[in-house]
Amino acid sequence: MRAVSKLLTDQRGMILVISLMILALLLGAGVGAIVSMQTDLKSSSNLKTGTQALYLAEAGIERGKKTVKDSTSAPPVTAGSCAADETLGSGSFTVCYSSVSTSGSGAATVYTVTISSTGNVGSSSKTLQSAIRTVFV
């Protein structure tokens, strides 16, 4: 009985058990921090490429507007036509003209052109659409 009582009250080796528990907690916190950092890095990378794709799509819209504005023929573009892919920086954009409608009478004809542009960077892709009007006299 005395031996059992001595074993229950003996505290030798407890510091080892406590230090192993603290070490396990610190290890778990470290692994959690690493996983969190990797997730944040991937998320920020996706945000970056998505923003770049949006800017490329906007550049494509501006290129389409310039093409329509600089056109000397009527209609300025053909509906359903697409310009060749253009590379800019680390991505590319494609400009398509989906519809061309006319209005007006007499000497001036107003053309409404719908431009869609898709910007691509890596696995990110953004598409924008814009309608513009141009007048031919």
Residue 128, pLDDT > 70, answer yes
> Which phi and psi (to 5°) does residue 3 adopt?
-65, -40
Q: Is the pLDDT of residue 19 over 90?
A: yes
Residue 136 scores a pLDDT above 90: no
Give the pLDDT confidence of 22-70 residue by residue, as tens digits: 999 999 999 999 999 999 999 999 999 999 999 999 999 999 999 999 9
What integer pLDDT is reported at residue 101 of this predicted model?
85
Exposed (0-12), middle (13-18) or buried (19+): which is 95, by Cβ within 10 Å?
buried
Phi, psi of 2 (to 5 degrees): -65, -35
Residue numbers of the domain that contains 100 = 2-136
| pTM recorded for the entire structure | 0.76
What is the number of domains present in the chain?
A: 1
**pLDDT tens sequence across 66-104:** 999 998 888 888 888 999 999 998 999 999 998 888 887
Tell me what pLDDT residue 93 has: 97
